[in-house]
């Protein structure tokens, strides 16, 4: 099999990328030393997380001059995400850190005054002057996750000979992909962008992208074309996530289950664990129906088990071979003591998950405890929480905090110190206000911390996204808790995934139309076969919402 070299210079998650390359029929050789770069013909520079962290790793390990040499020698080179950003001179994310400076210019942060940052989700990468650049397609969507971007100015990069594909988010148009000669780079993750992304990778691996580019260099290098023809329309889609709660049933088999308000046992006398199917097969089914992400939650993670046998590891290994959208795994991400008495940090557990194919980890109970300690210490950060350690090593985008709140009704706002919301669904005694109490251990223990406190604390610690469940709504098929979602969205800037209560496609439309949620998640209605992800997306499209459709 032909070989491609991959530079794994930070503790990044390259498993997904390796899987994608292998599925395209190529062997991956990891570059371990700067000298290995010399052996490479085709070289890929991935990168996630912080620009400064990635670039300082690259230069302190001595890679930078070898990369510049590889590119200057005209050998095929592909940069992904921070690997694209590295080609520029610098980034506002770390002004003291220099890029490879192949392209003059510096990246800046998305404006978060009216939108969530990071920009997470499926968006365009379209190049009107060269619509099939590296097999990008104007109608396709690609998976992005980044807070910093190179702002697109029509004609600027083209005048330097670059072909540019752009995306647009909240009124800002940014560089989604660039190509020139032997170099191509994407801000999005082709390995996580389904078939559309695999096409781009293939165009790089086979050389067809560079060949076609050579036959059709960027047009109008001197006169910038009118901006209206180059700026992509707002393309971020409504992101839909399928969630699989996984646990061992009474026979010891790992099954997908689903609770009603977190009770996953049958209502019959036997009270067996509900078994709705096999995790790997169900994840593949949802991917093929068009799910934009798949989340696995190990819902009995608080029970001890040897770390090497973590039940999700094998599930991730198998799933990541066939599912090319982001995979999140949650449950049990916390410092722990292994069966033989060895201490294992949350970061080490997360690393095991990333190496097995996860793109993000989701932290539940441990985030609540960390937030309580944060407030107890006067809102100080010491850098030692699981959230801080994992986001430092893998980037904020890799850390989701899963929140399991329960409604607590009060007659008036000053009846509690917590952030209340006026509710249209009064409590049992007619109470018109409620606050949302955080719980741990899958709702088994309620804490004196509200969702506003929790989400603000974890945002400060570096969480990249909130998975907002609601115990009152879970499994009820009665729609999302819009009041909860609005309260959390107002409190923080990072993206929120609405979860719990979806029972039909109309509920997804409602949550997207009536709140500013960034994504919505469904479980039971898909597992029970009442609706497919595709049906929900078709419905949203009919209602005029932008969605990504599965490309087979």
Residues with catalytic roles = 81, 189, 191, 245, 404
Q: Is 455 in the site for ligand 1PR (CB under 6 A)?
A: no
List C-alpha distances in Å: 357 to 155, 310, 313, 387, 533. Answer: 39, 14, 8, 19, 23
List C-alpha distances in Å: 326 to 29, 296, 469. Answer: 23, 11, 19
* Piece of 222-230, 337-345, 362-370, 488-496 that binds ligand 1PR (CB under 6 A): 362-370
Which of 186, 499, 515, 532 contacts ligand 1PR by CB under 6 A? 499
Which of 182, 289, 402, 455 contacts ligand 1PR by CB under 6 A? 402
Which of 16, 320, 356, 469 contacts ligand 1PR by CB under 6 A? 469
Which of 14, 28, 310, 363 contacts ligand 1PR by CB under 6 A? 363
CA distance 283 to 293: 9
Which of 20, 165, 236, 333 contacts ligand 1PR by CB under 6 A? 333
Which of 395, 475, 479, 505 contacts ligand 1PR by CB under 6 A? 475
Q: Residue 126 has what DSSP assignment?
A: B
Q: Is 536 in the site for ligand 1PR (CB under 6 A)?
A: no
Question: Cβ closer to ligand 1PR: 362 or 420?
Answer: 362
Which position's Cβ is nearest ligand 1PR?
Answer: 442
Q: Is 500 in the site for ligand 1PR (CB under 6 A)?
A: yes
469 is in an annotated binding site: yes
* Piece of 88-96, 150-158, 169-177, 293-301 that binds ligand 1PR (CB under 6 A): 293-301
Which of 93, 158, 293, 366 contacts ligand 1PR by CB under 6 A? 366
CA distance 387 to 398: 10
Backbone angles phi, psi at 281, to 5 degrees: -65, -40
CA distance 151 to 166: 9
Question: Cβ closer to ligand 1PR: 76 or 364?
Answer: 364
* Piece of 9-17, 20-28, 232-240, 518-526 that binds ligand 1PR (CB under 6 A): 518-526
Q: Residue 127 has what DSSP assignment?
A: -
Question: Cβ closer to ligand 1PR: 18 or 368?
Answer: 368
60 contact partners, CB below 8 Å, separation of at least 6 = none
CA distance 89 to 107: 9
H/E segment holding residue 65: helix 64-72
Q: Is 401 in the site for ligand 1PR (CB under 6 A)?
A: no
Q: Which of 541, 484, 486, 475 is nearest to 508 (CA)?
A: 541
| Minimal distance, residue 321 CB to ligand 1PR, in Å | 24
Q: Is 505 in the site for ligand 1PR (CB under 6 A)?
A: no
Say what the alpha-carbon torsion angle 71, 75, 76, 79 is, to the nearest 10 degrees. -20
The binding track of 227-266 with respect to ligand 1PR, each residue x by CB under 6 A or -, is ----------------x-x------------xx--x-x--
CA distance 498 to 484: 9
Record the tokens describing residue 19, joined without a space.
């899987």
Number of residues that bind ligand 1PR (CB under 6 A): 33
Residue with tokens 């406190």: 453
Assess whether the previous peptide bond of 519 is cis (omega < 30° from 0).
no
List C-alpha distances in Å: 454 to 360, 375, 459, 517, 522. Answer: 19, 10, 9, 18, 23
* Piece of 57-65, 318-326, 344-352, 496-504 that binds ligand 1PR (CB under 6 A): 496-504
521 contact partners, CB below 8 Å, separation of at least 6 = 240, 241, 242, 243, 295, 467, 497, 498, 499, 502
* Piece of 116-124, 363-371, 378-386, 456-464 that binds ligand 1PR (CB under 6 A): 363-371
Neighbours of 179 (CB within 10 A): 27
| Minimal distance, residue 388 CB to ligand 1PR, in Å | 16
The binding track of 260-279 with respect to ligand 1PR, each residue x by CB under 6 A or -, is --x-x---------------
Binding site for ligand 1PR (CB under 6 A): 243, 245, 258-259, 262, 264, 297, 299, 301-302, 330-333, 362-366, 402, 404, 442, 469, 474-475, 499-502, 521-524
- Please give the annotated binding residues for substrate, written as ranges: 332, 469
- Please give the annotated binding residues for L-glutamine, written as ranges: 81
């Amino acid at each position: 099999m032909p070989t491609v070299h991959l530079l794994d210079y930070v503790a990044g998650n390259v498993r997904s990328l390796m899987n994608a390359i292998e599925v395209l029929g190529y062997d991956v050789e990891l570059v371990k030393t700067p000298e290995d770069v010399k052996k490479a013909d085709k070289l890929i520079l991935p990168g996630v997380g912080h620009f400064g962290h990635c670039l300082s790793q690259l230069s302190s390990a001595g890679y930078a001059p070898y990369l510049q040499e590889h590119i200057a020698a005209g050998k095929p080179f592909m940069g992904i995400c921070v690997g694209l950003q590295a080609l520029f001179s610098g980034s506002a994310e770390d002004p003291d850190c220099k890029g490879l400076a192949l392209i003059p210019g510096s990246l800046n942060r998305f404006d978060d005054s009216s939108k969530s940052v990071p920009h997470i989700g499926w968006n365009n990468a379209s190049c009107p002057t060269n619509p099939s650049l590296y097999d990008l397609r104007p109608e396709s969507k690609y998976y992005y996750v980044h807070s910093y971007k190179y702002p697109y100015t029509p004609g600027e990069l083209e005048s330097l000979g670059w072909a540019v594909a752009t995306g647009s988010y909240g009124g800002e148009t940014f560089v989604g992909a660039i190509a020139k000669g032997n170099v191509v780079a994407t801000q999005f993750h082709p390995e996580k962008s389904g078939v559309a992304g695999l096409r781009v990778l293939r165009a790089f691996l086979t050389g067809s992208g560079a060949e076609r580019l050579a036959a059709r260099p960027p047009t109008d290098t001197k006169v910038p074309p009118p901006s209206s023809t180059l700026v992509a329309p707002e393309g971020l889609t409504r992101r839909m996530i399928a969630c699989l709660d996984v646990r061992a049933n009474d026979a010891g088999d790992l099954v997908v289950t689903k609770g009603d308000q977190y009770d996953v046992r049958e209502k019959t006398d036997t009270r067996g664990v509900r078994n709705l199917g096999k995790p790997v097969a169900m994840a593949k089914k949802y991917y093929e129906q068009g799910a934009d992400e798949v989340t696995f939650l190990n819902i009995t993670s608080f029970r001890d088990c040897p770390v090497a046998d973590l039940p999700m590891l094998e599930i991730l290994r198998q799933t990541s071979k066939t599912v090319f959208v982001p995979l999140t795994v949650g449950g049990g991400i916390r410092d722990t003591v292994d069966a033989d008495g060895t201490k294992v940090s949350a970061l080490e557990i997360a690393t095991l998950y990333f190496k097995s194919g996860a793109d993000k980890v989701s932290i539940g109970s441990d985030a609540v405890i960390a937030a309580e300690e944060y407030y107890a210490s006067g809102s100080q950060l010491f850098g030692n929480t699981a959230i801080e350690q994992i986001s430092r090593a893998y980037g904020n985008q890799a850390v989701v905090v899963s929140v399991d709140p329960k409604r607590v009704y009060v007659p008036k706002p000053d009846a509690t110190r917590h952030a209340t919301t006026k509710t249209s669904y009064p409590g049992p005694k007619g109470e018109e206000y409620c606050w949302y109490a955080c719980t741990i251990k899958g709702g088994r223990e309620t804490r004196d911390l509200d969702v506003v406190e929790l989400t603000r604390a974890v945002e400060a610690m570096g969480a990249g996204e909130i998975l907002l469940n609601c115990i009152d709504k879970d499994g009820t098929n009665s729609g999302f808790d819009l009041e909860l979602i609005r309260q959390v969205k107002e409190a923080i800037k990072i993206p929120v995934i609405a979860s719990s209560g979806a029972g039909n496609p109309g509920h997804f439309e409602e949550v997207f139309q009536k709140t500013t949620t960034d994504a919505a998640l469904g479980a039971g209605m898909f597992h029970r076969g009442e609706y497919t992800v595709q049906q929900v997306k078709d419905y949203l499209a009919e209602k005029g919402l932008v969605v990504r459709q599965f490309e087979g």
